[in-house]
């Protein structure tokens, strides 16, 4: 891992080991950001780090479950002690249990859905807000997707609505005080999660994760 300079912008990406989160981490690192990559999957993080280093970027790997509140506290303290700020948060971590009718959602899947997608989001906001405010132009971005009311999406759809509600409230509260709180709706991408949702879909017609990550980067410069 290349040693980051204090002058480099610092971005925390959750769910960074694969899919859109990994693409965002790679694109940011290739454009001069130091990436703090958080995910549960150690192997995926190590592969991400190899790709980032090969492209000349730098990353700090954080193998951590997003629901580990004490671990998040330690991480945020470490970010403050090392950089004194956080310039960007992109919250890509997500859990989606198997699709099922609303009347048959397993209790264990629902509990994990709530813990990962709702409870952890609210806790993450409480932990990173002060770090983002320490940056000159701190920004927080949530990728959004609307599945509310669709067949077999009761659990995931409800969780994404609740997650968006948290983000929207934070956005409204931060207009005058900062940080800048935004959402980003990527085009459909051939991620493993979407593959589970739509197994028969023609994935060749979908946008790549990298192209959508570049659009997210462009949105940062446009704000």
pLDDT in tens, 204-221: 999 999 999 999 999 887
Q: Where are the domains of the chain?
A: 10-222
- Residue 7 binned pLDDT confidence (cut-offs 50, 70, 90): confident
The tokens for 58 are 């730098």
pLDDT tens across 122-140, in order?
999 999 999 999 999 999 9
pLDDT tens across 141-181, in order?
999 999 989 999 999 999 999 999 999 999 999 999 999 99
Q: How far lies 69's CA from each of 30, 34, 44, 116, 169, in Å?
A: 30, 23, 22, 11, 21
pLDDT of residue 1: 40
Residue 107 class from Cβ within 10 Å (0-12 exposed, 13-18 middle, 19+ buried)?
exposed
CATH number assigned to the domain with residue range 10-222, chosen from the 4 options 1.10.357.10, 3.40.50.720, 3.30.830.10, 3.90.950.10: 3.40.50.720
pLDDT of residue 220: 86
State mean pLDDT over 18-29: 97
d(Cα 117, Cα 89) in Å, to the nearest integer?
Answer: 16
- Residue 2 binned pLDDT confidence (cut-offs 50, 70, 90): very low
pLDDT tens across 48-81, in order?
999 999 999 999 999 999 999 999 999 999 999 9
Contact 72, 40 (CB under 8 A): no
Query: Has residue 21 got a pLDDT over 60?
Result: yes
pTM: 0.94
């Amino acid at each position: 891992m290349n040693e980051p300079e204090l002058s480099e912008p610092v971005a925390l990406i959750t769910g960074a080991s694969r899919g859109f989160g990994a693409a965002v981490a790679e694109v940011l690192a290739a454009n001069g950001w130091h990436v703090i990559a958080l995910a549960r999957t150690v192997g995926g993080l190590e592969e991400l780090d190899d790709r980032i280093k090969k492209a000349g970027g730098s990353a700090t790997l954080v193998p951590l479950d997003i629901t580990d509140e004490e671990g998040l506290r330690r991480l945020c303290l470490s970010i403050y002690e090392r950089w004194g700020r956080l310039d960007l948060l992109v919250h890509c971590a997500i859990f989606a249990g198997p699709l099922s009718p609303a009347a048959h959602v397993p209790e264990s899947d629902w509990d994990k859905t709530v813990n990962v997608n709702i409870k952890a989001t609210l806790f993450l906001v409480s932990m990173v807000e002060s770090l983002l405010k320490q940056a000159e132009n701190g920004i927080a971005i949530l990728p959004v997707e609307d599945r509310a009311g669709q067949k077999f999406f009761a659990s995931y759809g409800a969780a994404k609505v609740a997650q968006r509600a948290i983000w929207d409230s934070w956005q409204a509260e931060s207009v005058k005080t900062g940080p800048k709180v935004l959402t980003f709706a990527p085009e459909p991408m051939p991620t493993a999660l979407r593959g589970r949702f739509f197994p028969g879909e023609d994935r060749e017609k979908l946008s790549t994760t990298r192209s959508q990550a570049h659009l997210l980067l462009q949105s940062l410069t446009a704000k």
